[in-house]
Every structure is written in structure tokens, then in C-alpha cells.
Structure 1
Amino acid sequence: MKKTTQLRRASQAGFTLIELTLVLAVIGLIIGAIAIGKDVQRNAEYTKISNKFLDQWKMAYDQYYQRTGTVVGDCQQAPTFMVNGLETSIGGAASCQRAGGQAVAGIPENFNNTGFKICSGQGYAAGQTGGGDAQLANQGLRDLMTRHGVRMPPGRGEGHEDRYVYQDTNGNSTEIQVCFQWNPAGTTSGAGNVMVVRGLTPDLARYLDQVVDGKADSREGRFRIQDRAAHTQVTDANGPGTAWEANNTIASNIGGNGQSGNDATAIGADNPNGATATGRQYDEDRVTLLTAHWVMDQ
């Protein structure tokens, strides 16, 4: 009888404190592994964007230069070494006509119609991923590349090689678009020929900046944010730069008419007057998008 009672008590006993501690520890490890797994997956996607898309476009740009002796969209018989130089003019005549530049020096300041960006279609409308968008050139990026036999990265597929789709940290699909343009001397995002990369979340922009020039500084280096206000004081020269603006919780301005500039304001379709301090910061919103300039070697 005594043995039966002991067995009944043993069967009714609950978990010990040690057992509960072990269960909670295992649950914590599982949750931590899931959270770390998301970060690992996101970093893997960022690495893929860098290695298999943007780096490949950099190689395509360099290959175009090697094959033609000029940068993308320049005229071969009288090169300007400016992207889209074919559409520029100098001395009252088209740049590709020798007579046009005989009266003036062939330096960028004497050319007209410079700075138009060469893309494959409009993609994002002006102002959707930051201010300072240049006018679209008449020449098409894909047409120029295929005309000279330059192999482009696959991108989204045939005819959409300049695009790449990824997910932002809130799970919304986002498209990167690549264009090329020439920036005049004094441009804060870098002078000379640049790759224009549109549709970057702040996290992705910081990652790419680290990969390209080793520091996540949106004002300095070879990878910079488009349309950043310039330092105007002498004491600012060669001083610390500026961090990439915004964060990964505020809504982007797609569907709106503004941008999350230095005033930290984010405009979204459902957030017409919101700011980071008082507006929407929901994890279902599209993350704010930025445009960057990657300075090319030629």
C-alpha cells in the first residue's frame, strides 16, 4: 500500500526548477537562432547584391571603356570623357563635330547639356528616392551595352538587366535601378562619372559603402548619397563626414512628394505629414529609399 502511494505521488509531481530552467534556456536559444538567422540571411542578400549585381555593372562599365576607348554614351571620334558626351555641345555645335570645339578649350565648363543620366527607362520618378535627380538622356543604357557586345549582369531578367529586386527589413519588395551620369567639379556626391544606384534602404547603403571604400560615410569616399548639402566653411574641409540618413522603420516617400532629407522627415502614401519623431514608424511600411553615387575609375 505504501509503495502504491509513493508511485501515485511520483506520477503527480511536476517539473523541477532545473528542468524548467533547461526548457527556458532551450527556447531562448531557439529564438536567438531565429533572430540571428534573419540577420545572416539579410547579410547574404546584401552580399549577393554587391557581388552579383553592382560589381558586375562596374565590370560592364569598365569593359565598355576597354572596347570603345570612351565612357558610356561618349562619342568616339572626339571624346569628352563624360558619360553621355554624345549629346553635349561645345562652341555652338555638337561635341562630336570637330569644328564645334576649335574656339574654346575642351574642358567640361565649356560644354553644354552635360550631366544627363543614361538609364534603361525612367524607373523611379524624380524625387521618389531622394532629391537631385538628373534629367534622363536620350540614349538608352541597354542599347549602348548590347551595341558594343558588353555582357550585362542578369538583373531581373532579359530586358531588365539594370534592375534588381530584394526585400527590405519590413518584408516589402524593393527594386534597385542602375544608371550612369557625369557630375561637374564640386558635386558633393563625387565629381566625374558615377554609377547612380537608386532604391537603397539605409542599411543596404551603409553596407555597400563599407564594401566600396571601407567606411559608412555618406559624404566622403567613392560611395556617397546623392544631393547631400556641401560643407561650406573652411573649417569643414577634410573633416568628419555624415552618416547615412534615416533608418529602417520610417515610411518612404513613394506615393508622396517629399524625401527623408536632413530635416529627418519621411513622406509616405499613408503618412503625408509624418516625421520620425511623430509620424508612422510601423513595421508594415516600406522602408525609406535613398539614391547613391558610386564614383567610377574612368
Structure 2
Amino acid sequence: MKSSQFSRRASQGGFTLIELALVLAVIGLIIGAIAIGKDVQRNAEYTKVEHKFLEQWKMTYDQYYQRTGTVVGDCQQAPTYIVNGSETSIGGSNACQRPGRQAVAGIPNSFSNTGLKICEGQGYAAGQTGDGDAVLAVQGLRDLMTRHGVRMPPGRGEGHEDRYVYQDTNGNTTEAQVCFQWNPSGTASGAGNVMVIRGLTPDLARYLDQVIDGKPDSREGRFRIQGRAAHAQSTDANAPGTAWEANNTVASNIGGSNQSGNDSTAIGANNPTGATATGRQYDEDRVTLVTAHWTMDQ
């Protein structure tokens, strides 16, 4: 009798298949919740970059225009409507002191020394976040804003208002920087005055493009990638644009001139061997960075 009672207790000491299934289901729910939580956190970080940094800088640019009557770095007494216009020349004279009765039209094509970008320091080295970086202007962004009493977004902190720190999808610290420049007619990333945003991961660039334009398209709309060549064929006119073809570690051939369906795939916008100097493409490595242009209203 005692032996049978002992055996029954022993047999009742394990887990049933139903109990094991329930435990596995709970573990699966926990893992799924953690994965979803990471996505929610990343989306929240992207929203902060857009609302607390880039949108604020667009409002700052517009406020500068409303307060001075000119775009950033332009001449107030003889405006050119070109970012950094005060460093340009026309007809052999400085833009701000140009005389009357000139034999040239006062349009952007007549000005020289244009297209310099106004930043607060260089930040990333030229070509480090994609092709097409313009030369740095003499004027500083922070000095122009404070001189005219325009309050800047907090950014990364006092003296670093043009920077914003976030984490890429691999967990590495990344810095975005805002500059402003003028693009001549025919520039594939948008003609006119643009906000230059350096240091974006492709994932963040797609998100920002979706918010600003309503669709992520690196060649069309008000938010485009820097350095992509313009459509070269007449059949490409008004054709669909190109996707942001880079993922975390692999960038595409952003220099191609054809539509996305014809673009060949390359690794690294400026580095044919990969996102890092050694060509590694691991999940712990730094994510490939790109530069975008956001066309301004003035």
C-alpha cells in the first residue's frame, strides 16, 4: 500500500503537456512584447527627432525670414533670396554693395560663389555621410540667429543647437546636424533654399520622408537624398522616383541616374566594401549614414 501511494505522488510531481505549452506560450508573449517595445521606443525616438529638432529648426528658419525679410545669411539692404547671399557676387561686385544699372539680371544664374552651406562647424567630414557635400560658408549659423534675436531649438545643448543625438538601430550613438544652403536649378535633391540634414540612418530618413511628403521617395518631393544624380533620359521625366535603398549596413548606388528599377546595388555610398572601413556588416557595427535636403518655403 505504501509503495503504491509513493508511486502516485512521484507520478504527480512533473509537468503535464498542457502546463508546458502554457509556459512556452507565456515566454513567447514576453519575447514578442520585448520586440514590440523596442519598435515602439525607436518610433518614439524618431518622432522626437522630427518634432523637437527638425520641425523646430524649420520654424526657426521661417522666424528668421519674418524678422529680417531675408533668408539665412542674405543681404537685408539688397536681398538675393539665396541662403548665404551676402557672400556672393554679381557683375564683379559683392551682392550687398552691387551698384545700379548693371548689365546683368539679378537672378541666381548671374551670381557667383553660391551654394556654400551655413553650418555651425563642419561636423561630419566631407563625404562621410554620402556624396555631394558643399563647401562650408564663412558665416556661422548660431551667430546669424543670435545676432537677429532668433531663438534656436535646444538641440544637443548650449552652443550645439544645430546637433541632435540619437541611437541607430544597432544601438550606436549617432549625431544629426542641420545646415542651410542654396541649390541651383536642376539639382536632383531640390532647387532653391534647403535645410541640409547630415547623419541620418536610412531608416530614420524613410520615416522623415513619410512624415514630410506622405511617401518615402528619395528622389521626389520636398525631402530628398543628397548626392543622387538627376534623371538623364527624356523618358525619365515625371517618372516615379527612387526608394531609400539602404538598410542598416548596406547602401545603394545613390549616384545612379535611372529609375529605381534600373539601379544596380552597391555597398556603401562612399565605400564599396561596406558600412565600416573594414567592410564588416555586423549587427553591432555603426549603421550607414546619409544626408538629406528638405526644401524650404522661402
Take 1:164 and 1:64, find their aligned partners in 2: how far apart are those partners?
21
Q: Give how far 1:233 is off.
A: 1.2
Q: Percentage identity across aligned positions? A: 80
Partner of 1:136: helix, strand, or coil? coil
**Which runs of at least 4 in structure 1 moved beyond 6 Å after TM superposition?**
none
Counterpart-to-counterpart distance in 2, 1:249 and 1:289 = 9
Could you say what secondary structure the match of 1:138 adopts? coil
Contact conserved, 2:227 with 2:254, CA < 8 A, in 1? no
Ranges in structure 2 where 5+ consecutive residues have no aligned partner: 257-264
Q: Within 2, Cα distance between the matches of 1:275 and 1:235?
A: 33
Aligned to 1:162: 162
CA offsets 1:36-93 (integer angstroms, 9 cap, x no match): 1000000000000000000000000000000000000000000000000000000100
Deviations 1:154-209 (A, max 9, x none): 11100000000111011111000000000000000000000000000000000000
- By how many angstroms is 1:260 displaced? 7.2
TM-score normalised according to structure 1 size = 0.91
Tell me which residue corresponds to 1:255. none
Match in the other structure for 1:187 = 187
| Deviation at residue 234 of structure 1 after TM alignment | 1.4
Residue 273 (structure 1) shift: 5.5
1:70 paired residue number: 70
For residues 33-112 of structure 1, what are the structure 2 equivalents within 5 Å? 33-99=33-99, 102-112=102-112
Evaluate the alpha carbon distance shift between residue 284 and residue 159 of structure 1 in structure 2; reply closer, same or farther with a 3 A threshold.
same
Q: How does 1:1-298 map to 2 (within 5 A)?
A: 1=1, 5-6=4-5, 8-12=7-11, 13-99=13-99, 102-250=102-250, 263-266=265-268, 274-275=273-274, 279-298=279-298
Q: Give the distance between the partners of 2:161 and 2:26, measured in 1 at CA.
A: 45
Asked whether the 8 Å contact 1:70–1:81 carries over to 2, the reply is: yes
Whole-angstrom distance in 2 between the partners of 1:19 and 1:162: 56
Instruction: Deviation per CA, 1:221-256: give whole Å up to 9, x if none.
Output: 000000111111111111110011321134x8xxxx
Residues 90-110 of structure 1: per-residue CA shift (max 9 Å, x gap): 010000113177221000000
State how far apart, in whole Å, the 1-side matches of 2:101 and 2:218 are: 37
Q: 2:291 is paired with a residue of what secondary structure?
A: strand
- 1:264 Cα offset (Å): 1.8
**What amino acid does structure 2 have at the position aligned with 1:138?**
V
Describe the SS at the equivalent of 2:52.
Answer: helix
Q: TM-score, with normalisation over the residues of structure 2?
A: 0.91
Deviation by residue 1:87-143 (Cα, 9 ceiling, x = unmatched): 000010000113177221000000000000000011111000001100100000000
Q: Is the 8 A contact 2:74 2:86 kept in 1?
A: yes
Amino acid at match of 1:265: I
Relative distance call for 1:147 and 1:32 in structure 2 (3 A) is same
Determine if contact 1:246/1:260 at 8 Å carries over to the other structure: no
Do the aligned partners of 1:91 and 1:101 also contact (CA within 8 Å) in 2? no
In structure 2, C-alpha distance between the alignment counterparts of 1:100 and 1:205, rounded to whole Å = 45
SS of the equivalent of 1:165 reads strand
Residue 198 of structure 2 aligns with an amino acid whose one-letter code is R
Shift of 1:274: 2.0
Counterparts of 1:17 and 1:261 in 2: how far apart (Å)? 58
Compute the displacement of 1:7 (Å).
Answer: 5.2
What is the CA distance between 1:23 and its match in structure 2? Answer: 0.6
Q: 1:245–1:261: 8 Å Cα contact kept in structure 2?
A: no
SS at match of 1:215: coil
> RMSD of the alignment, in Å?
2.0
Aligned-partner Cα distance in 2 for 1:111–1:218: 29
Q: Give the 3-state SS of the residue equivalent to 1:45 in structure 2.
A: helix
- The AA in structure 2 aligned to 1:23 is V
